[in-house]
Chains A and B, each alone.
Chain A
Amino acid sequence: MQIVLQLIINAIIAGSVYALVASGLTFIYATSRIFHLAHGVVILLGGYVFHYVWVVLGFSPALAAVCAIVVSVATGLIMNELVYETQRKRKAKRMAYLISTIALLMIGNALVLLLFGSSLKAFSVQTEVYRFFDLNITLMQIILIIVSTLLLLTLSFIVKKTKFGKAMRATADNEEVAEVMGIKTRDIRRLSFLVGSLLGAIAGILIGLEFNLDPNMGVYLAIKGFTAMVIGGVGSIGGAIFGAFIVGLFEQIAVWFFGAGWKNSMAFVLLFFFLLLRPQGLFGMRKFK
């Protein structure tokens, strides 16, 4: 029983990071209809800039976090402005967005490699370990879970209660009608890239602190976030968060029963089964087009 509980705790730790990634992706998808896989780069930059400013340059972690968020959010906004909005003006098809987002992911990954090198970056942050009934959780992990929960709660508040949230939902529902009703959908898209990238930057920082930084993780995180989104039902933020925990849990189960070789493939296995058997996801209303 203890093992099951510890596995679930481990899944929650990994899942809360995936949830930040998946909800950012969902937020962006809702207004722009783009599967923004290049979000992986935004997350990577968050972690790497944080590491660089804090560990390499020796500034305070708070300043490092601010720099990381600024760089990541700027990257997200620039990607939207230069690539996606330009394509939108030319009335690009969905496939074009998909190809350009994959290209952005590859270019961004290569740039991170070029700027920061391929070696693993560690923060060597050691925090206190708490033991409850033989279950282990560190202070860092508790902070990680609390920060993600607060962010996700704030996000759902924004979506449900604010004017921007309403405008966003209207844009998600029907862009043309929203435009006719006087909503500046272009600004809504910009804002959603801003919020999504902010979540990504924080995810990157937390991942760095908890799991170290590896230049390849951008791709994996984008795929895991995407899988979580599909599991939950594309467009539903609550669903994406739930999906993130499913991905986290299945990864832990895979390592436990089949060995670590299967861990990163679990996201693909889940993605495959959901696309095949339940493309609308667990909570999705709309058909996955």
Chain B
Amino acid sequence: MSGKSSSALLWVIAIVIVVLGIVYFSKPAPKAPEEQAQPTAQATIPEGPIVLGAMDPLTGDGAVYGIPLQNATMLAVNEINAAGGIDGHQLQLVWEDSKCNPQDGSSAAQKLIEVDKIKFIVSGDCSGAALAAAALTEPAGVMLFSAAASSPDLSTAGDLVFRSYPSDAMAGDVIASYSIKKLGTKKVSVISEQTDYAQGLRKSFTAAAAEYGAEVVADETFNTGDTDFRTQVLKISTAAPDVLYIVPQTPAAGIQILKQLKENGFKGQLLVSDVMLGSDTIAKNKTLYADIYSPTPELDSTREVTKRFLDNFQAAYGHAPEYPASMAAAYDQIYMLKDAFPVSGVDPLKVRDWLYAVKNWPGALGDTSFDQNGDPIIGYHIKHFVNGETIDLGAYTP
């Protein structure tokens, strides 16, 4: 390179750096969310439709629950719009596909915040995607309201992060307590996928098991996309636990594990996490669901609002909800916002205060209140699957 062109190049680089510097420093510093909270006397909703962002896993393995959750969300939106909207404002949703992974969850949230200028994101997302999204929504002063992400880490992900589905800190505790106190197990084991959701559940399960006096004899993990679990199964079998808790991110991996456990002749009691409870999955694999326990928030169809959700869903889509609990949570989200907007306006901070203040809000999933982390306080039922048939063993509190 000649001296002339190299000095030209240096000049170009210098100019680029200066321009970038000007752009960076001239950007107004983001205001802390608290400063923006100015109490106003009355809530006004701006003219035109209320636009919410929505992100679900719409493709990939996660789509088995993403699409049902999207249907439940849209059921609530269509009902509200058909009844005249919120104070005359129609609800509009901008959908993004988060694909059940942090990278796509992050891009989905970024697009909704930066391009669509959205203030509220409802999501039926995997924990990994929701956690990644929360890292962007919280500093931007955007509310993230999740109906499916259940990782305990989401509790502390931000003040504007809420969920209508309970945290796994609860689920792990419930199933550990049930298997130790009711089934009398002393040696527990767990196999979990390397994802935020599954690891959250794994941690809460092992911590609770240790607390209730059981020994964790095997704690195996696997990677997303793995299909050969033989060595893990062998290792778990060798440790001879009384019970094995299976925590995959999607049903496909879980089914493969059940299959390989059966081939191995594993004798312990099996427990599964709630992604394994899809009615489709169970119907297709009856022989694998020979004797399995799982905790899940339960719908009480004698409640008026729950019955309305179940009936309307059946009428709209021609079948019962595949994942009743989290789909009811997705349905509830939209109705909660519907109740919040006329009081607090389309303002994330005021909606936050409204949500914290709400007590026993009547939802399809149950009477909902929120704790200081924005997690709902809802009870669990234990389900027992015997040869593909589901038996509800009733509510259980550790």
Is the C-beta of B397 less than 8 angstroms from some C-beta in chain A?
A: no
Q: Could you list 10 examples of A-B contacts with CB < 8 Å?
A: A7-B234, A13-B230, A119-B64, A120-B253, A126-B287, A136-B263, A138-B263, A212-B256, A260-B223, A261-B194
Is the C-beta of A157 less than 8 angstroms from some C-beta in chain B?
A: no
Is the C-beta of B228 less than 8 angstroms from some C-beta in chain A?
A: yes
Name the A residues within 8 Å of B221 (CB-CB): 259-261
Inter-chain contact A117/B238, CB cutoff 8 Å = no
Name the B residues within 8 Å of A217 (CB-CB): 225, 227
Name the A residues within 8 Å of B284 (CB-CB): 124
How would residues 62 to 95 of chain B score, 1 for a CB under 8 Å from any chain A CB and 0 otherwise? Answer: 0110000000000000000000000000000000
Q: Contacting B226 at CB < 8 Å: which of A117, A124, A260?
A: A260
- In the complex, A138→B262 CA distance in Å? 11
Name the A residues within 8 Å of B238 (CB-CB): 3
- In the complex, A211→B225 CA distance in Å? 11
Inter-chain contact B59/A117, CB cutoff 8 Å = yes
Whole-angstrom distance between the Cβ of B143 and the nearest chain A Cβ: 30
Inter-chain contact B227/A129, CB cutoff 8 Å = no
Is the C-beta of A100 less than 8 angstroms from some C-beta in chain B?
A: no
Inter-chain contact A119/B230, CB cutoff 8 Å = no
Inter-chain contact B226/A263, CB cutoff 8 Å = yes
Inter-chain contact A211/B227, CB cutoff 8 Å = yes
Is the C-beta of B231 less than 8 angstroms from some C-beta in chain A?
A: yes
Inter-chain contact A7/B231, CB cutoff 8 Å = yes
Inter-chain contact A261/B223, CB cutoff 8 Å = yes
- In the complex, A136→B260 CA distance in Å? 10
Inter-chain contact A131/B265, CB cutoff 8 Å = yes
Inter-chain contact A264/B265, CB cutoff 8 Å = no
How would residues 215 to 233 of chain B score, 1 for a CB under 8 Å from any chain A CB and 0 otherwise? Answer: 0000011110111101110
Number of interface residues of A (CB under 8 A): 30
Inter-chain contact A259/B220, CB cutoff 8 Å = yes
Most chain A CB neighbours (cut-off 10 Å) among B226, B231, B235, B250: B231
- In the complex, A14→B256 CA distance in Å? 16
Inter-chain contact B61/A120, CB cutoff 8 Å = yes
Is the C-beta of B60 less than 8 angstroms from some C-beta in chain A?
A: yes
Name the B residues within 8 Å of A263 (CB-CB): 223, 226
Is the C-beta of A256 less than 8 angstroms from some C-beta in chain B?
A: yes
Name the A residues within 8 Å of B59 (CB-CB): 117-118
Whole-angstrom distance between the Cβ of B161 and the nearest chain A Cβ: 28
Number of interface residues of B (CB under 8 A): 33
Inter-chain contact B234/A126, CB cutoff 8 Å = no
Is the C-beta of B259 less than 8 angstroms from some C-beta in chain A?
A: yes
Whole-angstrom distance between the Cβ of B324 and the nearest chain A Cβ: 22
Whole-angstrom distance between the Cβ of B57 and the nearest chain A Cβ: 11
Whole-angstrom distance between the Cβ of A252 and the nearest chain B Cβ: 5
Inter-chain contact B256/A10, CB cutoff 8 Å = no
The residue on B at minimum CB distance from A213 is B227
Name the A residues within 8 Å of B250 (CB-CB): 120
Name the B residues within 8 Å of A62 (CB-CB): none
B-contacting residues, A178-208, CB 8 Å? none
Is the C-beta of B264 less than 8 angstroms from some C-beta in chain A?
A: yes
Q: Work out how many contacts link A and B, with CB atoms closer than 8 A.
A: 79
**Assuming A212-B252, A216-B225, A260-B232, what are 18 further A-B pairs, CB within 8 angstroms?**
A10-B230, A10-B231, A117-B59, A117-B60, A119-B63, A120-B253, A124-B255, A126-B259, A129-B265, A211-B228, A212-B256, A214-B227, A256-B231, A260-B223, A260-B226, A261-B194, A263-B223, A263-B226
Inter-chain contact B256/A122, CB cutoff 8 Å = yes
How would residues 112 to 123 of chain A score, 1 for a CB under 8 Å from any chain B CB and 0 otherwise? Answer: 000001111010
The residue on A at minimum CB distance from B229 is A260
Inter-chain contact B227/A120, CB cutoff 8 Å = yes
> What 9 pairs between A and B have smallest CB-CB spacing?
A255-B231, A120-B252, A211-B227, A260-B222, A212-B227, A118-B60, A10-B230, A119-B61, A214-B225
Whole-angstrom distance between the Cβ of A114 and the nearest chain B Cβ: 11
Is the C-beta of B285 less than 8 angstroms from some C-beta in chain A?
A: yes
Inter-chain contact B235/A256, CB cutoff 8 Å = yes
Whole-angstrom distance between the Cβ of B207 and the nearest chain A Cβ: 19
How would residues 246 to 274 of chain B score, 1 for a CB under 8 Å from any chain A CB and 0 otherwise? Answer: 00001011011001001111000000000
The answer to whether residues A124 and B234 also contact, given A259-B221, A260-B223, A261-B194 and a CB cut-off of 8 A, is no
Name the A residues within 8 Å of B252 (CB-CB): 119-120, 122, 212
Inter-chain contact B220/A260, CB cutoff 8 Å = yes
Is the C-beta of A6 less than 8 angstroms from some C-beta in chain B?
A: yes
- In the complex, A117→B63 CA distance in Å? 11
The answer to whether residues A136 and B264 also contact, given A212-B256, A259-B220, A260-B220 and a CB cut-off of 8 A, is yes
Name the B residues within 8 Å of A260 (CB-CB): 194, 220-223, 226, 231-232
Q: Contacting A252 at CB < 8 Å: which of B194, B231, B253?
A: B231
Whole-angstrom distance between the Cβ of A246 and the nearest chain B Cβ: 16
- In the complex, A44→B64 CA distance in Å? 23
The residue on B at minimum CB distance from A127 is B263
Name the B residues within 8 Å of A126 (CB-CB): 259, 262, 287
The residue on B at minimum CB distance from A13 is B230
Name the B residues within 8 Å of A3 (CB-CB): 234, 238
How would residues 262 to 285 of chain A score, 1 for a CB under 8 Å from any chain B CB and 0 otherwise? Answer: 011000000000000000000000
Name the B residues within 8 Å of A118 (CB-CB): 59-61
How would residues 232 to 266 of chain A score, 1 for a CB under 8 Å from any chain B CB and 0 otherwise? Answer: 00000000000000000000100110011101100
Q: Contacting A136 at CB < 8 Å: which of B226, B232, B265, B287?
A: B265
How would residues 131 to 161 of chain B score, 1 for a CB under 8 Å from any chain A CB and 0 otherwise? Answer: 0000000000000000000000000000000
Name the A residues within 8 Å of B61 (CB-CB): 118-120
Inter-chain contact A122/B255, CB cutoff 8 Å = yes
- In the complex, A119→B100 CA distance in Å? 12
B-contacting residues, A1-55, CB 8 Å? 3, 6-7, 10, 13-14
Name the B residues within 8 Å of A256 (CB-CB): 231, 234-235
Inter-chain contact A255/B232, CB cutoff 8 Å = yes
Whole-angstrom distance between the Cβ of B280 and the nearest chain A Cβ: 13
The residue on B at minimum CB distance from A2 is B238
